[in-house]
Amino acid sequence: MLKKVVGFLLFPILLLVASAWKSPGRNSSKLTQEQWVDSVMSSLSEEQKIGQLFMVAAYSNKDQKHINEIEELVRKYNIGGLIFFQGGPGRQVNLTNHYQSIAKVPLMIGMDAEWGLGMRLDSTLFFPKQMTLGAIQDDSLIFKMGAEIARECRRIGVHINFAPVVDINCNPNNPVIGMRSFGESKELVAAKGIAYMNGMQAYKVLANAKHFPGHGDTETDSHVGLPVINHTKDRLDEIELYPFKKLIEAGVMSMMVGHMHIPALDNTPNIATTLSKNVVTDLLRGDLGYQGLIFTDALNMKGVSSFYKPGEVDLMALLAGNDVLLYSENVPNAIKKIQKAIKDNEISAEEVHSRVRKILRAKYWLGLNEYQPIELKNLHSDLNNSKARSIQTELYQKALTVVNNQESRIPIRILDTTTFASVSIGKGLENEFQRMLSNYAPFTHFAIEDKNAEEAVYTKVLEQLRKYEVVVVGVHNTNLFNSKTYGITENTKRFIARLNEQGITTIVSVFGNPYSLKYFIDSPNLICAYEDNEITNRLVPQLVFGGISASGKLPVSVHANMPVGHGLLTDNTLHRLRYSFPENEGMDGKTLLRIDSIVEKSIADKAMPGCQVLVAKNGAVVFSKNYGYLTYDKQQPVTSSTVYDIASISKVAGTLQAVMFLQERGLIKLDKKISYYLPELKGTNKDDLIIRDVLTHQAGLIPFLPHWKKTVDTSGYMKAYYSTTKDTLYTREVVPGVYCIKSIEDTLWAWTVESDLLKKPKRAKKHDYVYSDLGFYIMKRVVERILNQPLDEFMQQNFYDPLGLATLTYKPLEKYSVDKIAPTEDDKYFRMTLIRGTVHDQGAAMLGGCAGHAGLFSNANDLAVIMQMNLQYGYYGGLRYFLPETIPYFAKKQFEKNRRGLGWDKPEPSGNGPTSNYASPNTFGHTGFTGTAAWVDPDQNLVYIFLSNRVHPDASNNKLIRASVRTVIQDVIYQSILNYKE
């Protein structure tokens, strides 16, 4: 038996007040809801009252003929509303303002925007489809989405969103619901439907539960035919009606009746539920006690239009008990038929008026009694702000579902001894999925763009993959339909099956319908991403490498081993960088956008040709942008993979990491003399230098030594030092085609040892703070002496490879193409060429590219990783690189009159230092001569990276420094924290 549910009393008589209006429907001052409704009703003719029952289809991408037709319906027939379909937000706003201006009673504007405005309008956001939402375990996120969709709807003048779909998709072959349903569990569908509903209605947008009494177990699309459901009343009451009853209890303000034929409820031949009095009046209004607005599904759909003519179908829908006639195809004819039905006593005028009054009460609740035109200014930015995007991304992230995870291979932990490859099936090379994978480890990427390619194409890729240890596969460009095998080709299935058999660790991610997982049940490591878009393509690599964790559960049953509710949690302790939005981490995204204008002005002023800016907060990259070009001729734009010479940041990202490594193992004592570790300094003016003083730049060392000047004369390079041919004697590449003698390091060391010291101030125990490169020449020597290993090899083995850093390296030309590297100076005094791929610093170049003070290259992401590891006090990716106390000790200010930490630079306590004055005293990092900066603020859990080649083409260009561009940007970062509001 169908159970009667206490209905939600919709549209109570509110004691709200409205401002004065000059025309009927927008009338006199301070009316209650019922007073306003009465005033409108009294102003309308019988025909105009009937017109309020109609909501017709409108488009913002059609011609003037369509606009004229809508105008006539508004002016002449006083229709109650419009449902907008395809178009654009600006055009729709203009049309809405126009139509509202000619309406006697303000129009109720609707949209079928189940997954946001992006379902219908260009240049707007889309949110996850409901089956994707069904995987999410936290329903508060669904509420947030509903609230955001409501905000966007109201921003463009939309009052009702025809969502949520609360059909239970218990039939995998359903051709029309599928991904539009939250899933196959009635409890899940009800809970998520209520969350979505509450989010919208809390922000004054009517929710609409559809498609009553349940469209989930059909195999016919009601757009093209009339589905038949042969369930019993008991089954319908137990399953299909369950979510609708729960939403009625929770206060859903409108309902849509679908086009289905259900003999158990009405056995009249070919009668759709929409047109059935048994269903709409007796069941929905009577048994379930529903008092809210009842909409028909679109009356142009074949489920009804195949059997009844326009006008006739409208009358039948009204007689069945519906309030709003949606997508009427012939309003004038329908009004005539309704008027005749009243005259013939098929329906009373009082009954029609009662439904009009319900519609008017809804309009009052929506604020249409005091309608104001929609503002066009800032429309695009309002609809596409970073807070909305953060909600969008968070939803997709929380839906990600790990279905299989053999031996907990997801997330991948070990990076340095593993070779990685990726394969994208259905997409071309270097797509967003592959670019994000490369943020975590060095990858070789493959693609089978045409998924219908012959088996030979798949086999060729399979053979190339044999030499890799881990292969991450993305299955893209799928479809929603079981009848079309969800777009998964036989060759794709065979390829993945053969790959699994090769003994390679294979991780397969399906960017599509969860039902399609049935083709990959034997994949030992399997991820369902549900949808294929830029967001999911960026999220899955983060899951694979532990930047984010998986918590999603399958909303439908796929296989006996993959039932509804199945989903494996993954490790969330690796603390690798993830990629998020400012609002998710307590920052204001709009404030951060000021960085754009700062950088663009700097580029226009030729302070630099381009740059990368990255901001990470709480372990999440919230801002990462590339600006400008590698050179001023604008031939090659800066991309995320562009690599920069990071200059003196090498001191802290290279040498200092090794020093900290040795110190915490007791292999270096900071208060010992350097001569203890380098006996050749005994008896020299550097005999008494203390390591702590060297690291804080107060050992009395002169700022720099132009060693290169001793190796050239008026004719150019001295043959004693250089050769144009690389051989066993001349091994160190200064620039391509010029090689320095192997023994040059000893020569430079001798010149360094012989260098003068600065004079110590009178009666001072220590030298003043004077920044010097020489200290890190010395510290590299100490490190290599103790380790008995070159610095670059040690750093690669112990830091860069385990951290998965593909670009952070010395001597980059040995590892990747010169095309990836931003050029520095057009050197007209030493190397006589454009410097690109070899280190800018002359002394480091003479050493072959690896020095204690310079030599490292990186992109912003890889530099952010090592800085994040330092921010996390030595922990990253599940590995501990330093004891927790080591980095705070080195990052601490050491002396009262010296801002420096041990190796690390610090804010100037009095201000006007290398950092923003907002930076906390615990901030540490470094800047680089080439126009770079890397800063960490533990108090704000913040990483800031700025990379440029401001020295191109001339190192004397100091516009970037004079304008304090790096610091001004850092100011904006802190302001975004201060400006953040929940």
Q: How far apart are CA 425 and CA 451, in angstroms?
A: 6
* Pick from 777, 786, 798: nearest CA to 668: 786
Q: Which of 112, 167, 266, 297 is catalytic?
A: 297
Q: How far apart are CA 587 and CA 581, in angstroms?
A: 8
What is the pairing mode between strands 54-58 and 325-326?
parallel
Contacts of 666 (CB under 8 A, 6+ apart): none
Q: Is 252 exposed, middle or buried (0-12, 13-18, 19+ CB in 10 A)?
A: buried
20-27 own/partner pairs: CB under 8 Å, 24+ apart = 21/369, 21/370, 23/104, 24/104, 24/105, 25/103, 25/104, 25/105, 25/106, 25/369, 26/106, 26/369, 26/370, 26/371
Q: Is 183 exposed, middle or buried (0-12, 13-18, 19+ CB in 10 A)?
A: buried
Q: How far apart are CA 25 and CA 371, in angstroms?
A: 10
Torsion of CA 145, 480, 570, 550, to 10 degrees: -10
Q: Phi/psi class of residue 936: alpha, beta or left (left: φ > 0; alpha: ψ in -120 to 50)?
A: beta
Beta strands in 371-418, from DSSP E residues, in sequence order = 401-405
Contacts of 672 (CB under 8 A, 6+ apart): 690, 691
In angstroms, the Cα distances linking 211 to 265, 310, 617 are: 15, 21, 43
The gap from C-alpha 239 to its chain's centroid, in whole angstroms, comes to 36
Q: How far apart are CA 413 and CA 584, in angstroms?
A: 26
Amino acid at 109: I
The reply to whether 297 belongs to the active site is yes
Amino acid at 184: E
DSSP for 448-504?
E--TT--HHHHHHHHHHGGG-SEEEEEE-S--S-GGGGGG--HHHHHHHHHHHTTT-
> In this structure, are residues 357 and 41 in contact, taking their beta carbons and an 8 Å threshold?
yes
What is the pairing mode between strands 809-810 and 856-858?
antiparallel
DSSP for 216-260?
SS-SS-TTTS--B----HHHIIIIITHHHHHHHHHT--EEEE---
* Pick from 197, 170, 196, 164: nearest CA to 183: 170
Q: How far apart are CA 394 and CA 555, in angstroms?
A: 18
DSSP for 512-581?
S-GGGGGGGTT-SEEEE--S-SHHHHHHHHHHHTTSS------SS--BTTB-TT--B-----S---EE--
Neighbours of 405 (CB within 10 A): 19
Q: Is 127 exposed, middle or buried (0-12, 13-18, 19+ CB in 10 A)?
A: buried
> In this structure, are residues 297 and 326 in contact, taking their beta carbons and an 8 Å threshold?
yes
The conformation of residue 136, written as its DSSP 8-state character, comes to -
Q: How far apart are CA 221 and CA 310, in angstroms?
A: 20
Alpha helices in 545-685 (DSSP H): 589-592, 594-604, 649-650, 656-664, 674-677
**Radius of gyration over alpha carbons of the chain, in Å?**
35
Q: How far apart are CA 642 and CA 654, in angstroms?
A: 20
Q: How far apart are CA 342 and CA 354, in angstroms?
A: 14
The two structure tokens encoding residue 762:
């009178």
Q: Which residues are catalytic?
A: 297
